Amino acid sequence: MFNFIKKTKQKHTAFSSDNAPLQTAVDQVLQQANQQDPGNQLTGIKSQGESVTLDLRLNGDVDPEEIHRQLGIALQPYGVKEVNLNVTLPPKSASRPANMKTTAGIEPVSNTKGAGNKLPKTTNAAAPKAESASEEPAITKRAPMQSSLQPHPRIKHVIVVASGKGGVGKSTTTVNIALALQKLGNRVGILDADIYGPSMPSMLGVEGVKPQLENEQFVPIEAHGLAMLSIGSLLDGDNTPVAWRGPKATGALMQLFNQTNWPMLDYLVIDMPPGTGDIQLTLAQRIAVTGAVIVTTPQHIALMDAQKGIEMFNKTSIPVIGVVENMALHTCSNCGHTEAIFGAGGGEFIAKEYQVPLLGQLPLAAAIRSQADKGEPSVIANEGKGDDYAEFYVDIAKKIETNIAKFAKQRDDGRIF
């Protein structure tokens, strides 16, 4: 917990053109906060290496810790690993109740965002400073890193399946990889982190099934032997939109992960939304991830976005297990002619460029799509025997199994899996 201290004297740092991108990112965070608590303002910014110090004037009702967390997420893509805050709070209100006492002359700040959720009174543990002191120490908290996160006590490996853009078959690949890992004898769960476009309930044939609550925790839905949970399982219907801003969407993801009674799992496969936004950064800072699988097509535009995804995982210290090239070849069902519709060699190029394995090349086939639409993906089609394309996914799962040990998180909880 921070000691957010009311400033009586504030030294403002001049803005400079070098900090313009950082200033824009900070302004976006504050603009979002101002929609509910107007009056929050950036008054100064100073960057040095991987550290940035921000002078903020915050409304008395805002949650400074939440602001700090959002700033850490927003600034991380710019190479910022440490965010320091100099916080100026509003002057004491004349309407403050007489029985609201202060400690060491510091005003308590209330947080009205939730019932019973208030920022505790702050105390100044340091010796009182002379009135001539021009500046108080900055409030410092380093953004969480993967190395500092504890693995989930019941999950051995967390694998995220991601892509830089949509439309590359990421979700279909995710569900088939999860089922293939299960076919190899593993206990597997699947978490649909695509908050805005959840598709796992439909692909696994459990749309409309609601998760049960037990001791204020979700019980995962059983789907073809997988322990599955998705925001789509909590919505009223398939056409219900999730029109949430970033903080609410990331909060939903963390609730699905943390407030679910996951069984003992060898793998939890997380289907990520496309892009490199709030959800991806929140997951990187708050969930211990074993590694990422990148899905792309050979198309040049898709490869450009896939590279951005790999760069994001590199910056957040999440290892990339490998690349899956989807829609690599199409064979005409009438004449048998095979053609690389989206180009050739893209997956091999990006794997070589970043020195990661090419886990597999998947064909562009109507049967893969139709099986997923029916809720019986290729790996478990034909009453569990699999269709003609199941072996592609099983081969990918075998390569993940072979290499997963070198990415495994160190555990200090004494558990043996």
Q: What is the pLDDT along the chain (417 residues), one digit of tens a residue?
A: 333 333 434 444 455 666 788 888 888 888 877 776 677 888 888 888 888 888 888 876 777 877 888 888 888 888 888 888 888 877 654 444 444 443 333 333 333 333 333 334 434 444 444 444 444 455 555 667 787 888 999 999 999 999 877 888 899 999 999 999 999 999 999 999 888 888 899 999 998 899 999 888 999 999 999 999 998 888 766 666 666 677 788 888 888 999 999 999 999 999 998 877 788 888 888 899 999 999 998 888 888 888 888 998 998 889 999 999 999 888 777 887 778 778 788 888 899 999 999 999 999 999 999 999 999 999 999 988 999 999 999 999 999 999 999 898 876 655 544
The count of other CB atoms within 10 Å of the CB of residue 320 is 20
Cα distances (Å, whole numbers) of residue 190 to 20, 160, 272, 345, 411 = 40, 10, 11, 30, 22
The count of other CB atoms within 10 Å of the CB of residue 219 is 16
Q: Rounded to an integer, what distance in angstroms lies between the CA atom of residue 171 and that of residue 192?
A: 9
**In the numeric block, which tokens belong to residue 173?**
């690949």
pLDDT of residue 237: 64
pLDDT of residue 17: 61
> Is 153:34 a contact under the CB 8 Å cutoff?
no
> Is 74:28 a contact under the CB 8 Å cutoff?
yes
The model's pTM: 0.65
pLDDT of residue 34: 74
pLDDT of residue 103: 36
Q: Rounded to an integer, what distance in angstroms lies between the CA atom of residue 417 and that of residue 155?
A: 9
Q: What spatial distance separates the first Cα and last Cα of the chain, rounded to whole Å?
A: 34
> Is 160:289 a contact under the CB 8 Å cutoff?
yes
Q: Rounded to an integer, what distance in angstroms lies between the CA atom of residue 12 and that of residue 34?
A: 21
